[in-house]
Amino acid sequence: MIEVAVILDWLTFAVRWLHVIVAIAWIGSSFYFIALDLGLRKSKNLPVNAYGEEWQVHGGGFYHLTKYLVAPKTLPEHLVWFKWESYSTWLSGFTLLILIYYLGADIYLIDINKFDLPNWAGILISLFSLSFGWLFYDFLCKSPLGKKQSLLMIILFFVLLGISWFYAQIFTGRAALLHIGAFTATIMSANVFFIIIPNQKIAVAKLKAKQKVPAYLGEQAKQRSLHNNYLTLPVIFLMLSIHYPLAFATNYNWLIAGLIFLIGVLIRHYFNSKHARKAKPNWTWILAALLFMLIIWLSYIGRPATTENENLSETKINNNIYSATKNFTQVKNIILTRCSMCHAKEPVYEGIYQAPKNIILENDKDIAKYAKQIILQAGLSYAMPPANISFMEDEERQILVEWLEQIREIRNVNHEY
């Protein structure tokens, strides 16, 4: 029978594939429309109610686009809506969150060195913070503050910084950065789902009924679109950051996230100005580069201390069936000789500066904690060691697989699943 872990890993891969594809579709169409919108030109022969037009050439043909504000004189029969790009990005992203961080909460979500939470509590905090984030953001936008565009953006920045700090205190570095991304992306998708599309639907219905379209509908949607525009780049950074321990496995990961939001705004500002054919504010690149250097420095000085945290909840680790197996000593020897040169607090392998993916395999506790991952990467597959650099033998991989079988046996005896 195929291992459940293998199926789960493939499922995660499939969902991630989908997630990246739909995210490209969402962000791609949103970049396209922002640039189109900013670059619209006035012309003498524009139709009634038209706001601007643009000629484009692509894929062997010419396109003539016209934007109508609020709407053309007669509504077309057929309208293309852009909404599933956003919804499917959120849905697939949330599924990934469940598959990786909720099902694998012990290693990916919870860091008992920071905060000794049971898995369910971590999951609840995750769910609650994501929904609360949207409600609070929506409340701010609809409050009198919402009228003061720049002040609102500054406040939102500090809200993001605050939640980043909060996540960094309770979750693993990796989960913290990912959650900041998910928090922001949830706001972006909810903007589309709860505000932008519904407002547009009301507007279309009013137009069909030959009624006046209230101005607030458009204003609200425009504000949310603007926020989404500025949030896109940081979200992509945060989603990718999980591959870079230098970004997430540092005490200043939350500050790094904050700086990334600033860099995202700077870069978007450059492109927005350029597409509006106003100016090319090249200074934004210089400032962004300086902030990026600051990030590199922060990751360096925020490197985790190499001393062991003594206040760990011992019970959670010691009652561990993973280290209670008959062949655990053998397993441990294999890990120490084949993996620890890289997966250590201070790796000795040339060119490895920090434990890859921040996975440290130095003692019984570590090995028990990452048991499932170890078996998957080095027992059931040849993924680790990379290029079999430490000459792991097939018999050793077999011992890791037997380890899994012994873990199962103990589970059966204890009626644990």
Residue 176 in contact with ligand HEC, rule: CB under 6 A: no
Tokens 């809506």, located at residue: 81
Nearer to ligand HEC, 255 or 392 (CB): 392
**Cβ–Cβ contacts within 10 Å for residue 345, how many?**
17
* Contact between 219 and 329 (Cβ < 8 Å): no
Min separation Cβ 81 and ligand HEC, Å: 37
Task: Tell me which of 15, 298, 374, 404 binds ligand HEC, using CB under 6 A.
Answer: 374
Tokens 């922060």, located at residue: 298
Residue 359 in contact with ligand HEC, rule: CB under 6 A: yes
Residue 341 in contact with ligand HEC, rule: CB under 6 A: yes
110: which DSSP letter?
Answer: B
Residue 386 in contact with ligand HEC, rule: CB under 6 A: yes
Task: Tell me which of 330, 390, 402, 406 binds ligand HEC, using CB under 6 A.
Answer: 390
54 forms bridges with which residues in the sheet? 65
Task: Tell me which of 185, 252, 373, 404 binds ligand HEC, using CB under 6 A.
Answer: 373
Residue 226 in contact with ligand HEC, rule: CB under 6 A: no
Task: Tell me which of 377, 403, 404, 407 binds ligand HEC, using CB under 6 A.
Answer: 377
Cα–Cα distance list, 23 to 60, 189, 323 (Å): 26, 11, 41
Token representation of residue 101: 């961080």
HSE, side-chain direction, 13 A CA sphere, residue 42? 1
Task: Tell me which of 83, 269, 316, 357 binds ligand HEC, using CB under 6 A.
Answer: 357
Task: Tell me which of 72, 146, 281, 356 binds ligand HEC, using CB under 6 A.
Answer: 356
Cα–Cα distance list, 79 to 7, 39, 76, 204 (Å): 41, 22, 7, 10
Task: Tell me which of 19, 174, 343, 365 binds ligand HEC, using CB under 6 A.
Answer: 343
Helix or strand holding residue 216 (H, E): helix 215-240
Residue 338 in contact with ligand HEC, rule: CB under 6 A: yes
**Cβ–Cβ contacts within 10 Å for residue 308, how many?**
11
Q: Of the candidates 61, 224, 200, 205, which has an alpha carbon nearest to the alpha carbon of residue 137?
A: 224
Min separation Cβ 292 and ligand HEC, Å: 21
Taking residues 230 to 269 in sequence order and writing x for each that binds ligand HEC by CB under 6 A, - otherwise, the string is -------------x--------------------------
Residue 109 in contact with ligand HEC, rule: CB under 6 A: no
CA atoms of 136 and 129, how far apart (whole Å): 10
CA atoms of 315 and 319, how far apart (whole Å): 6
Nearer to ligand HEC, 22 or 384 (CB): 384
Contact positions vs ligand HEC (CB under 6 A): 243, 338-339, 341-343, 349, 352, 356-357, 359, 370, 373-374, 377-378, 384-386, 389-390, 392
